[in-house]
Amino acid sequence: MGRDARGDPGAAFLEVLDPAQNDKFTDHFLGTPFDLSKIMFIATANSLDTVHPALLDRLEVIDIDGYSLVEKMHISQKYLIPRQVKENGINDKLIKFEDPMIKKIISNYTMESGVRNLERAIGSVCRIVAYRYAVDKEPDQFR
């Protein structure tokens, strides 16, 4: 949540979480009162550093680790590689992602706990292969 000229969403969230106020919370846009006292809110954050301490005090923080190397390998093979191969107009005859190559991409080119940058890196490799094939018309498989 970012504070800007239009307001501070963190302050609104604090108001919603306050048990003294949330049974008679009024939405200012709709002008309708809501009883939020029995609601469980779930929020996610990439970093707790930017969460206001008063808000953090009212939250139960559950730290979830990112994907392991094995999980990223499986996600790559099952979902990311087929999608990027298709999106970049190449096929399995032109490129084969072997396990050591996938491990190297994960270890050396992605630092996140998720897989967004991993998919971008796989897409970059696919685009290089597509370009080389378009220029050289080389039918040999790239590994």
What is the dotted CATH code of the domain comprising 69-136?
1.10.8.60
pLDDT digits (tens, 9 = 90+) for 51-90: 888 888 888 999 888 899 999 999 999 999 999 999 999 9
Enumerate the CATH 1.10.8.60 domain ranges in the chain, comma separated.
Answer: 69-136
How far separated are the first and last CA of the chain, in Å rounded? 43
H helical segments located in 61-140: 69-75, 81-87, 99-109, 116-136
**pLDDT value for 65:** 82
**pLDDT value for 99:** 95
